[in-house]
């Protein structure tokens, strides 16, 4: 059974700090990996998608890296802001085309002013 | 961007009643829709995958007679929780895949179900 693990489960930082969220997956034969943001009681917003052939993707203050051989991905958030407070989910697709996503439990981030 | 809506956003019902949740793709045709369930502080767990015009494929451990899924059109899928019980209380999220962009799923805002 494929498993996706996210560490830490929760993180609290002061505004302005750079931070790293971690995601690991048991099967390195992935198709792609996505990072999502989920606000309390809300749906998911896709942040970054990394194809298995890619090493990283960047969007604004967010940078996601992928090391398929070691089964790891990191999400780097630069200069964190209170508006970044949310739960960040990592999801892995293991098959091409009509693949389904396997999600981690998420990291709950709180950025205090 | 592609938008997926869910209705209702909140539902409270008595034990034993049935609840229907709608998932709509507003500006694209969704050949495939997915239904997930999320318990507090847990990850999203895929319940079933539905393709327009065919029967849904359920994940192991999900009762197909309890969670009825209908995907009758390219823009609408419904999940009916039949004879709901308190343990069915959860956050239900749908996602939809645009037939032209097979790698991307667009997620709905979710439906919070509370069964008393």
Q: Count Cα neighbours of B18 within 13 Å in the Cβ-side half-sphere.
A: 10
- Least reliable range by pLDDT among A94-98, B3-7, B71-75: A94-98
Predicted confidence (pLDDT) at residue A41 exceeds the cutoff of 90: no
Q: Identify the closest residue of chain A to B98 by CA–CA distance.
A: A98
* Residues A9-16, mean pLDDT to the nearest whole number: 96
Residue closest to A68 by CA, chosen among A38, A36, A94, A105: A94
| The pLDDT value given to residue B98 | 82
Q: For residue B93, which residues of chain A lie inside 8 Å, CB to CB?
A: 43-44
pLDDT tier at B45 (50, 70, 90 boundaries)?
very high
Q: Is A45 on the interface with B (CB under 8 A)?
A: yes
The string of pLDDT tens digits covering residues B49-70 is: 998 888 899 999 999 999 999 9
Predicted confidence (pLDDT) at residue B102 exceeds the cutoff of 70: no
| The pLDDT value given to residue A27 | 85
Predicted confidence (pLDDT) at residue A96 exceeds the cutoff of 70: no
Predicted confidence (pLDDT) at residue A76 exceeds the cutoff of 80: yes
Inspect the interface and report whether the beta carbons of A44 and B46 lie closer than 8 Å.
no
Mean pLDDT value across chain B? 91
* Residues B1-30, mean pLDDT to the nearest whole number: 93
Inspect the interface and report whether the beta carbons of B43 and A103 lie closer than 8 Å.
yes
Predicted confidence (pLDDT) at residue B48 exceeds the cutoff of 70: yes
Inspect the interface and report whether the beta carbons of A104 and B112 lie closer than 8 Å.
no
DSSP A52: T
| The pLDDT value given to residue B104 | 79
CA distance linking residue A15 with residue A12, whole number of Å: 10
Q: Percent of chain B at pLDDT above 90?
A: 72
3-state percent breakdown (helix, strand, coil) of chain A, nearest 5: 5, 55, 40
Inspect the interface and report whether the beta carbons of B110 and A32 lie closer than 8 Å.
no
Under 8 Å CB pairs connecting chains A and B tally to 49
Interface of A with B in 53-82 (CB under 8 A): none
Predicted confidence (pLDDT) at residue B100 exceeds the cutoff of 80: no
């Amino acid at each position: 059974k494929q498993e996706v693990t996210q560490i830490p489960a929760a993180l609290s930082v002061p505004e302005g700090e750079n931070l790293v969220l971690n995601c690991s997956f048991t099967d390195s034969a992935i198709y792609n990996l996505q990072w999502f943001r989920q606000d309390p009681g809300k749906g998911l917003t896709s942040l970054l998608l990394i194809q298995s052939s890619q090493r990283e993707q960047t969007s604004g203050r967010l940078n996601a890296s992928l090391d398929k051989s070691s089964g790891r991905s990191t999400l780097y958030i630069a200069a964190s802001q209170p508006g970044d407070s949310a739960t960040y989910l990592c999801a892995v697709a293991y098959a091409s085309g009509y693949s389904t996503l396997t999600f981690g439990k998420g990291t709950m981030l709180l950025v205090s002013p | 961007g592609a938008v997926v809506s869910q209705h209702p956003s909140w539902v409270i019902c008595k034990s034993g009643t049935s609840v229907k949740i709608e998932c709509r793709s507003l500006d694209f045709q969704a050949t495939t829709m997915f239904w997930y369930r999320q318990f507090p502080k847990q990850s999203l767990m895929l319940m079933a995958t539905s393709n327009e015009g065919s029967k849904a494929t359920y994940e192991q451990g999900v009762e197909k007679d309890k969670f009825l899924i209908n995907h009758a059109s390219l823009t609408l899928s419904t999940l009916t929780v039949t004879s709901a019980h308190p343990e069915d209380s959860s956050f239900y999220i749908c996602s939809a895949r645009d037939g032209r962009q097979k790698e991307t799923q667009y997620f709905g805002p979710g439906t919070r179900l509370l069964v008393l």
